[in-house]
Amino acid sequence: MNIGAHVRGGGSLIPSLEAGAALGATSIQVFVQSPRMWKPTQYAPEVLEAYREAQRAHPTITHTFCHATYLINLASDDPALLERSRTALAHNLRVGRLMGAAGVVVHLGSHKGAGFDPAVAQVAQAVQGALDAAESVPGACPLLMENAAGAGGTVGRSLDELEAVLEATGRDERIGLCLDTQHLFASGVDYATVARARALIREVDRRFGLQRLACWHLNDSKTPFGSNRDRHANLGEGEIGADGLAPLLGHPAVRNLPWLLEVPGDGDGPRARDVEAARAIHAAGQLLYQRPARHRPPHQGEHHD
């Protein structure tokens, strides 16, 4: 199992690896610029190279993911905001490439009530424009579209919307997915049983191909099913509950992907006990998929005590 956590990056980035390891995590997610400011953080090339080498050599942290700033809105009808968003996303992708990240997670933004269909082509063009701009630096780092909880005019509130964006890019191979358990729950996706978890993973595979699913955001929910509100809770303390998360975490096709905790903890993010709770839920989920051995009569000559 690969249980990760969102941790603070810091100026040199390398301390984020040890922050994750101290929690018992085996993958991490960081911001490479302030999540609520436009000004990009400028990293010296040697800092990013040092991080890339440290990540490659780290004994326990297997993946680093970056999360793009929350200000990005690729569906905006304001040309200045749209260009600012594309530029910020391109910067995050370039940093992700240079530090050897496994992907840059992004919220696609909101059409502010103008409608999803008119926004699709613009979002797709902005995504590809940012990816093209990042090609100026070496490396490979996919853009990972994150599903939204569904408030207001958010883009990506359903798998159908995410697939529409992907289709509008010509199913660009540089684009992948990060699915959030709380956002799925809040947008009305039920995965609380093995049958429903299997159905969800089949749908993801049919729409995108599971090879595009790079990681999960692992959260419980402070708000009820179908609420369309983005409110994370510590595992087992919300409306989903440990039993509701277990069938998804234990699914054989996705159980070994990075599951990145974005829980509040005590107010400062994931704690070691949150990682432990995730591991316990993950283990319980795997048991749900173990079929009991069928009874077989002994062969002639066999002896059973």
Task: Convert the pLDDT of each residue in 93-134 to its tens digit.
Answer: 999 999 999 999 999 999 988 899 999 999 999 999 999 999
- Average pLDDT of the segment spanning 223-233: 97
- Number of H-type helices and E-type strands within the chain: 9, 10
* Main-chain dihedrals φ then ψ at residue 289, nearest 5 degrees: -100, 5
Whether the per-residue pLDDT at 300 is higher than 50: the answer is no
> In a 10 Å sphere around its CB, with 0-12 CB exposed, 13-18 middle and 19+ buried, how is residue 126 labelled?
buried
Across the chain, mean pLDDT equals 94
Contact 70, 123 (CB under 8 A): no
Q: Is the pLDDT of residue 83 over 90?
A: yes
Cα–Cα distance for residue pair 217/186, rounded to 1 Å: 14
Give the residue ranges of DSSP H helices in 209-271. Answer: 241-249
pLDDT of residue 283: 98
C-alpha dihedral sign at 49, 50, 51, 57: positive
pLDDT of residue 292: 63
The β-bridge partners of 67 are: 31, 105
CATH-assigned architecture of domain 2-285: Alpha-Beta Barrel (3.20)
Domains of the chain by residue range = 2-285
Token code pair at residue 180: 């959030």
The model's confidence at residue 152, banded by pLDDT at 50, 70 and 90, is confident
Does pLDDT of 10 surpass 80?
Answer: no
